Amino acid sequence: MTVKFEDVMRELFTPKERAAIRRDAAAIAKRHMALRELREARNRTQVAIARKLGVRQVSISRLESREDPRLSTLTRYIDAMGGQLHLIVEFPEQEPVMLRDVGRRQAKPRKKAA
């Protein structure tokens, strides 16, 4: 016999508790977005991002569906939306550490003229 999720929720929680659970779930979902969802939440189109990056719209579409984008590409994509990408490293025995300048191209030292 199939049991519906809503039926279980109704049986276990009051209407006030169910509302709180839904609010918490929505807040968690907002913190875990796919690239497309992030772009849409910022009210940006693929075309607008593509123009800002000097690429075609299809490149943005591919990036948003890519499983493992390059960090430098992701950094440029977030920059184009007006944001900043941060990379945080967590180990069980220490506080999280934010890495600086990951995914950004470093200026290459100029060669001295002979």
Query: Domain spans of the chain?
Result: 1-32, 34-105
Residue 67 has pLDDT above 90, yes or no: no
Summarised one tens digit per residue, pLDDT across range 17-66 is 988 888 887 777 666 688 998 899 899 999 999 999 999 999 999 999 99
- pLDDT > 90? residue 114: no
Domain 34-105: give its CATH architecture.
Orthogonal Bundle (1.10)
* Predicted structure pTM score: 0.64
Residue 89 DSSP SS3: strand
Distance, CA of 16 to CA of 36 (rounded, Å) = 32
Q: Would you give the DSSP letter of residue 83? A: -
